Structure formats: structure tokens, C-alpha cells
């Protein structure tokens, strides 16, 4: 076998560390991005928060280091220069509105000579110390909340029961879940109270457990410790004045709750021998009851969405203005004091450490700037295509796919997918994930296209305006859409309806 040398030409894509970092930051959500920035601030001494109080110190340090000139600008300010450099006209709509990035004011500069402690730190220092501050976050304060079990034990201790019954009540309360449902049967509760070596006379009877259970079910919230839905509703009805409507409601709940679930009102009226008006009043009474009485006691904490992009309409010019939310991430910059310590000809370990961290800091700031620029470009193009949605809502949504935006801004489709994931936009219609504006299309009779989001909005509107005594079936909705020039199969209507969490027509039926 003869050895030889060959020369070949080829292309190869290499993922540099800078490119990997830029891609990773691009797909991070707002919360993850904030965490990433805080980690970078802790690990890299060259990075610091861009507080206005230190602006005056940067000018002196610039004279001592040439490397800091490229990175001392804030990412947000650099992003504004890119954002304000273009005026985008909408070509897809018939109106003359324009979409353009918002012109944000520069960050205020701090005057070090006239500043005082109150001017610089007073507002932030007093944010959480004044009880009269309207912005005080009561939900995030460090305080323990009572659980449903704690609340029930408090009521149990106020009830005049024997020690034996109190112990049984403790076991019952421990077996209640967050919805107020009893998760163990009576036999298991009776056995759990017994211990080894007890006499036969000390054992707990199931009737004793039932007696204490019925007592707890009258605690607040009424109906807690229920074993099934029928029992939960009956306990709540027992606490009301026993009029004819309540009595009919109790009969429906105790004997015909399955028929009520299937909306078979005719069969219920026949078996109970009551008129339609009486059944309507009983059903209204049942609908006002709480099937999960424990769930309202400890509500889940609210999850707030912080939008990455803000969209609003300029009243004077009638143009849609797009801007990045300046509060989604801390503003960072190069620490000019540390950067000034770098000596170009010095090869010591300390100097090498400073140079390495300075370069990493530059890459990180550049990646943040690239992320903001890409997010801004994508957002502007989305708003350019979906102006009708901003004006009229979901029914005016236009078909849009990732490739449309990728072609418009000259980026790969995978990049658009990353930048639209877990990024939110605040619009006059509400807060939406950027992916919400992308949807498939359905052909119309006139040869045009209709967005699947618009079709779902039409379905929702039709169902909200339907006659509840004769709800629209999926076939009827299909015919209604055909009259509007939209051809959609019945199975597609069923899929869209299920995505909207709307039950089928037989479960939506109501009495007049």
C-alpha cells in the first residue's frame, strides 16, 4: 500500500464558543436570561451592573485602556441605535399604517457633583421599608400561610368533642387533599387508629368515624371531607333553607347525578315528576355549589408574564411602535477600573486572567446585543404582518409560518423558532407568546387563505352565540363556515373545538 499526499477543498461549519453562547442566549426565556446574567456577574469580575452612579468614572478609565472602548456601551443603548435606524412599511395590508421601532430616550446620566445619598439611593432603599408604598409586593414576602388542614384543626379544637373523637378527627383531617376530598375509606381510617396490643373495647368502630366525619363536613368550607361529588353537594344543600327548589336539587344530586352529567333533562323530569321550570331552578341551585370546597382556601400563586416586547399605537401618527422591554434584564457593562489594569506586554498570571475575563465579557455583551437585535427584527416583522389582529382580534389573524419571517429578515428558520419560544409580546389585545402569531392556513372559496387561529376564534364566537337548548354540532359549524367561504372538515372542527376546551354539543345543552 503506497502512501501519498492529497489536497482537497471543502466547506465545514464550525461552532465557535462565541456562536454557541449566542445561540444559547437566544433561546433563553426572560427568567432564564436574568439568571444567566446574574451568574455572569458573579463569575466574571470584568462585568458590572450599569448603574448611573458610576457613569462619571468611566471617562477617566477610557484614557488608560484601549480595549474598553468597544464594550463600555450598554447593550440596551446599542440596541436602540439599531432599532431606530429603520422605518418599516406594511405591504400586506390595505391601510397606510406603518410599523416602526419605538424611539426610547437615552438612559439618564447621574451628576456626581450634585448627587446626594437620598438622590442616589433613597428611592431604592425605601422601596420595601415604607408601609405606605403602593408597590410593596405582599405576595413575595416571607410569611407562612395556613393550609386547609391547619384551618380544619383549628375548628376541630374549638369544637366540644371528647379526646377520642378529637383523635379520630385528626386522622380524618390528615386524609383530606387540597380539594377537600377524603382520600381514604372509613374502614382504613378505623384501622389506622388502632395500635397493637389494644383491648377489644378500645378499638374504633366505623360508626364512630362516620359520626366525626359528618361533623367535620359541616366545618368551613362546607362540604369538605367529601367522599364523592354527590355527598359534597348534598352537605352544602343541607345547610340551606329546605324549600321546594332545594328539595328538588337534593333529589337530582342524590339519585340522578349521572343523568345530570349527560344533560338528559327529559329523563330527570319524568323520573322526578317535576316541570321544566322547577328543574331549571334546581339546576341553577346546583351550579352555584362548590364541587371542590377546599380548592378556594389556598389558591395557587399567580404566575405573572413579563413581556419581552411592547407594542402600542402612536395616537398622533397612527403607526404601531415596537420596543423591547427595558426591564426584562439587568443592564451590564465592562468594569473600566479592572480593564485599566491590563498591560498588553505583561504575560503574568494575573494579567492573563484579566485579559481572558475581558474577552469573555465582550463576547457576553455582544451575544446579548445580538439577541436583542434578532428579537427586535422578528417582532417588527410579525407586527408588520399581523396589524389586522392588533386592530380587530383573533378573527383577523393572517396565516404565518416561520419560513415567512426567516425569508423576510434573512435568517434560518431554526433561529426564528428559537427566538419565538418563551418570548412574550404585550399588545392591545393582551399578552401573547410570539409563537401564537404563527398558524397554518386553510384555503377559501375565493382562492385566499384563512388562518387556523382565525377559524378557532370564529368557532368560539359561534358557540358563544348559539341557542343553548339546541347547541351547534360540529357538522352545523362546518356548514356555517362553508357559508363564509371557508372549507374545513368536520374532524378538523372537532380538533379545534377540543383545543379550545369546549365540550361537544350534547354536553353544552341547557334548558331554556
Residue 434 CA to residue 387 CA, distance in Å, equals 14
Residues 97/387, Cβ–Cβ less than 8 Å: yes
- Whether 88 has a pLDDT exceeding 60, the answer reads no
Higher pLDDT residue, 38 or 328?
38
Q: Which of 2-11, 136-145, 182-191, 293-302 has the lowest mean pLDDT?
A: 136-145
> Cell numbers of 288, please?
352555584
pLDDT of residue 85: 32
How long, in residues, is the chain?
Answer: 512
The mean pLDDT value of the chain amounts to 79
Report DSSP state, residue 221: S
Average pLDDT over residues 23-36: 88
Phi-psi map region of 104: left, alpha, beta (phi>0 left; psi -120 to 50 alpha): beta
- What domains sit in the chain, N to C, each tagged with a CATH number? 17-85+305-417 (no CATH), 148-287 (no CATH), 439-508 (1.10.10.60)
- Whether 329 has a pLDDT exceeding 50, the answer reads yes
- Whether 391 has a pLDDT exceeding 80, the answer reads yes
Q: pLDDT tens digit string along 267-309?
A: 999 999 999 899 999 999 999 999 999 887 766 666 778 899 9
pLDDT of residue 65: 42
Residue 246 CA to residue 281 CA, distance in Å, equals 9
Average pLDDT over residues 21-43: 88
Average pLDDT over residues 160-189: 90
Residues 439/453, Cβ–Cβ less than 8 Å: yes
- Whether 107 has a pLDDT exceeding 50, the answer reads no
Where do the DSSP E strands lie in 43-160?
Answer: 47-49, 88-89, 98-101
Phi-psi map region of 406: left, alpha, beta (phi>0 left; psi -120 to 50 alpha): alpha
* Claim: this prediction has a pTM higher than 0.85: no
Percentage of the chain beyond pLDDT 70 is 77
Q: Which of 16-25, 184-193, 321-330, 439-448 has the lowest mean pLDDT?
A: 439-448
Q: pLDDT tens digit string along 446-497?
A: 667 788 889 999 999 999 998 888 889 999 999 998 888 888 888 989 999 9
Where do the DSSP E strands lie in 309-443?
Answer: 309-313, 320-324, 332-334, 424-427, 430-433, 441-443
Average pLDDT over residues 124-137: 39
Phi-psi map region of 215: left, alpha, beta (phi>0 left; psi -120 to 50 alpha): alpha
Collapse the DSSP code of 476 into the 3-class scheme (helix H, G, I; strand E, B; otherwise coil) and give the result: helix
385 confidence band (pLDDT: 50, 70, 90): very high
- Whether 100 has a pLDDT exceeding 80, the answer reads no
- Whether 87 has a pLDDT exceeding 60, the answer reads no
The full DSSP string for 156-195 is HHHS---HHHHHHHHHHHHTB-TTSBB-S-HHHHHHHH--
CA distances from 395 to 132, 269, 370, 392, 510 (A): 44, 41, 34, 7, 27
Chain position carrying cell 419581552: 308
* Closest among 506, 477, 507 to 492, alpha carbons compared: 477
pLDDT of residue 250: 93
Q: What element of type H or E holds 450? A: strand 449-451
Residues 240/246, Cβ–Cβ less than 8 Å: yes
Percentage of the chain beyond pLDDT 90 is 37
Residue 264 CA to residue 428 CA, distance in Å, equals 42
pLDDT of residue 63: 45
pLDDT of residue 202: 62
Handedness of CA 489, 494, 500, 502 (dihedral sign): positive
Q: Hey, which of 74-78, 94-98, 325-329, 382-386 has the most confident mean pLDDT?
A: 382-386
Sheet with 320-324: list strands edge to edge.
Answer: 88-89, 98-101, 320-324, 309-313, 424-427, 430-433
pLDDT of residue 78: 40
- Whether 110 has a pLDDT exceeding 60, the answer reads no
198 confidence band (pLDDT: 50, 70, 90): low
pLDDT of residue 264: 86
Where do the DSSP E strands lie in 263-308?
Answer: none
Half-sphere exposure of 271 (CA within 13 A, CB side): 14
Amino acid at each position: 500500500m503506497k502512501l501519498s499526499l492529497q489536497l482537497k477543498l471543502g466547506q465545514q461549519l464550525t461552532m465557535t464558543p462565541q456562536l454557541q453562547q449566542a445561540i444559547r442566549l437566544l433561546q433563553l426565556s426572560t427568567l432564564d436570561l436574568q439568571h444567566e446574567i446574574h451568574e455572569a456577574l458573579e463569575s466574571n469580575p470584568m462585568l458590572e451592573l450599569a448603574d448611573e452612579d458610576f457613569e462619571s468614572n468611566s471617562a477617566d478609565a477610557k484614557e488608560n485602556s484601549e480595549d474598553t472602548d468597544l464594550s463600555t456601551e450598554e447593550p440596551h443603548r446599542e440596541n436602540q441605535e439599531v432599532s431606530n435606524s429603520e422605518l418599516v412599511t406594511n405591504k400586506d395590508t390595505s391601510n397606510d399604517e406603518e410599523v416602526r421601532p419605538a424611539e426610547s430616550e437615552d438612559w439618564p446620566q447621574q451628576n456626581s457633583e450634585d448627587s446626594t445619598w437620598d438622590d442616589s439611593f433613597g428611592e431604592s432603599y425605601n422601596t420595601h421599608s415604607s408601609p405606605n408604598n403602593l408597590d410593596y409586593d405582599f405576595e413575595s414576602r416571607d410569611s407562612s400561610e395556613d393550609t386547609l388542614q391547619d384551618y380544619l384543626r383549628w375548628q376541630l379544637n374549638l369544637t366540644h368533642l371528647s379526646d377520642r373523637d378529637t383523635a379520630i378527627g385528626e386522622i380524618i383531617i390528615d386524609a383530606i387533599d387540597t380539594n377537600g376530598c377524603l382520600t381514604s375509606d372509613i374502614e382504613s381510617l378505623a384501622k389506622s387508629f388502632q395500635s397493637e396490643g389494644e383491648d377489644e373495647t378500645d378499638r374504633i368502630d366505623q360508626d364512630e368515624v362516620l359520626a366525626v366525619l359528618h361533623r367535620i363536613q359541616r366545618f368551613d368550607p362546607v362540604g369538605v371531607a367529601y367522599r364523592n361529588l354527590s355527598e359534597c353537594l348534598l352537605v352544602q344543600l343541607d345547610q340551606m333553607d329546605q324549600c321546594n327548589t332545594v328539595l328538588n336539587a337534593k333529589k337530582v344530586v342524590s339519585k340522578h347525578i349521572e343523568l345530570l352529567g349527560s344533560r338528559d333533562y327529559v329523563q330527570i323530569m319524568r323520573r322526578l315528576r317535576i316541570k321544566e321550570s322547577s328543574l331549571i331552578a334546581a339546576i341553577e341551585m346546583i351550579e352555584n355549589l362548590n364541587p371542590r370546597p377546599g380548592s378556594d382556601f389556598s389558591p395557587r400563586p399567580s404566575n405573572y408574564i413579563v413581556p419581552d416586547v411592547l407594542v402600542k399605537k402612536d395616537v398622533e401618527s397612527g403607526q404601531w411602535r415596537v420596543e423591547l422591554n427595558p426591564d426584562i434584564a439587568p443592564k451590564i457593562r465592562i468594569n473600566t477600573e479592572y480593564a485599566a489594569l491590563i498591560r498588553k506586554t505583561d504575560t503574568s498570571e494575573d494579567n492573563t486572567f484579566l485579559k481572558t475575563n475581558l474577552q469573555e465579557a465582550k463576547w457576553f455583551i455582544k451575544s446579548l446585543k445580538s439577541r436583542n437585535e434578532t428579537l427586535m427584527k422578528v417582532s417588527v416583522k410579525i407586527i408588520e404582518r399581523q396589524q389586522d389582529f392588533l386592530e380587530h382580534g383573533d378573527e383577523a389573524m393572517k396565516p404565518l409560518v416561520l419560513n415567512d419571517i426567516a425569508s423576510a429578515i434573512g435568517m434560518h428558520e431554526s433561529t426564528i423558532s428559537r427566538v419565538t419560544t418563551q418570548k412574550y409580546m404585550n399588545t392591545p389585545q393582551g399578552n401573547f407568546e410570539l409563537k401564537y402569531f404563527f398558524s397554518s392556513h386553510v384555503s377559501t372559496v375565493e382562492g385566499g387563505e384563512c388562518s387556523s387561529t382565525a377559524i378557532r376564534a370564529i368557532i368560539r364566537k359561534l358557540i358563544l352565540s348559539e341557542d343553548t337548548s339546541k347547541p351547534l354540532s360540529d357538522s352545523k359549524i362546518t356548514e356555517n363556515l362553508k357559508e363564509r367561504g371557508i372549507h374545513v372538515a368536520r374532524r378538523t372542527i372537532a380538533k379545534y373545538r377540543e383545543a379550545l376546551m369546549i365540550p361537544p354539543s350534547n354536553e353544552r345543552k341547557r334548558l331554556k
